[in-house]
Amino acid sequence: MSNPYARSRMTAGSLAVLGLVLFASGTCAAQDAPTKLNVLFIGNSLTRANNLPGIIAGMAAASARTLTFSTQLVSAASLAKHWKDGKALAKIQEGHWDYVVLQDYSKEAYKDPESMEQYVRLFDAEIHKAGGRTLLYMNWALENAPDEYPQIVETFTALARELHASLAPVGSAWHTVTSAPGKPAFALYVSDHKHPKPAGSYLAACVFYRVLFGVPSAGLPSRIEWETKVLVHLSKEDASALQQIADQTPLVAD
């Protein structure tokens, strides 16, 4: 990777074709740039892989911020399964969350958007009752199903607008990398074509950091630790390029 900066400019240029050229306002989760947040992550292995919440918390700690988090993560679980199980709802009702992140099954946004919409609405109502705000985790298209990306964007942005929810457009940041001409500059997927490599989780964390704290991810360290464990360690050049992609990804407005 001889020129990561040039590469990041190339991939950022493809944002023009994303179809998500919306003003970055209400869903930049913290117009007041908070320094301390309590966040609950509900989802499955896309969130658990490489400890995404821990990476975000490590980024916060490295920039004099604090992210306290808890998780309710079940492999291959949809939001429907989480709702019916009841454990995620019980955690929401503890009532001290600034944000509750909802991450559905990877194919739900295009295979069964009606189910996703139903359970996001149910969770959103409970999150508001508990005094929190909903943050939707837009997942990426599977590596062997890139044509599903537009439907993923449509489903997530429509829900975010309808519910005035925050949106972490991770899938759009990934699309910037994977849709660039030629070989992708970064290997984001593991061999199952679904789960993220550390670089993919780092990119996702940069998007979340920007949305949650209302500030760019530029300048964050390339080596992220959390609870004495190194979760991701990239070159400074690659980290900077991924930060730039995350910071240039349009955010959806309320």
User: What is the per-residue pLDDT across 99-140, written as a single tens digit (0 to 9) for each?
Assistant: 999 999 999 999 999 999 999 999 999 999 999 999 999 999
| Residue among 177, 138, 190, 189 nearest 159 (CA) | 138
pLDDT for 184: 86
Mean pLDDT of 77-86: 98
User: What is the per-residue pLDDT across 28-75, written as a single tens digit (0 to 9) for each?
Assistant: 434 468 999 999 999 999 999 999 999 999 999 999 999 999 999 999
Distance, in Å, from the CA atom of 116 to the CA atom of 103, rounded to the nearest integer, reads 10
Quickly list DSSP for the chain: ---HHHHHHHHHHGGGGSS------TTSS-TT--SEEEEEEEE-HHHHGGGHHHHHHHHHHHTT-EEEEEEEE-TT--HHHHHHH-HHHHHHTT---SEEEE---TTHHHH-HHHHHHHHHHHHHHHHHTT-EEEEE-PPPPTT-GGGHHHHHHHHHHHHHHHT-EEE-HHHHHHHHHTSSSS-SS--B-TTSSSBPHHHHHHHHHHHHHHHHSS--TT--SEEEETTEEEEE--HHHHHHHHHHHHHS-----
End-to-end CA distance of the chain: 38
Look at the chain and report how many structural domains it folds into.
1
The answer to whether the CB of 177 falls within 8 A of the CB of 141 is no
Q: Is residue 254 part of a domain?
A: no
Q: Is residue 17 part of a domain?
A: no
Query: How confident is the prediction for the chain on average, in pLDDT?
Result: 89
Look up the CATH number of the domain holding residue 193: 3.40.50.1110
Distance, in Å, from the CA atom of 200 to the CA atom of 202, rounded to the nearest integer, reads 5
Q: Is residue 9 part of a domain?
A: no
The answer to whether the CB of 98 falls within 8 A of the CB of 132 is yes
The answer to whether the CB of 120 falls within 8 A of the CB of 79 is yes
Q: Is residue 52 part of a domain?
A: yes
Q: Is residue 1 part of a domain?
A: no
Q: Is residue 234 part of a domain?
A: yes
Q: What percent of the chain has pLDDT over 70?
A: 87
pLDDT for 6: 38
Q: Is residue 19 part of a domain?
A: no
Q: Is residue 208 part of a domain?
A: yes
User: What is the per-residue pLDDT across 244-254, written as a single tens digit (0 to 9) for each?
Assistant: 999 999 987 54
The answer to whether the CB of 102 falls within 8 A of the CB of 128 is no
Q: Which residues, in sequence order, are bridge partners of residue 36? A: 66
User: What is the per-residue pLDDT across 215-241, written as a single tens digit (0 to 9) for each?
Assistant: 999 999 999 999 999 999 999 999 999
Domain that holds residue 239: 28-248
Mean pLDDT of 87-106: 96
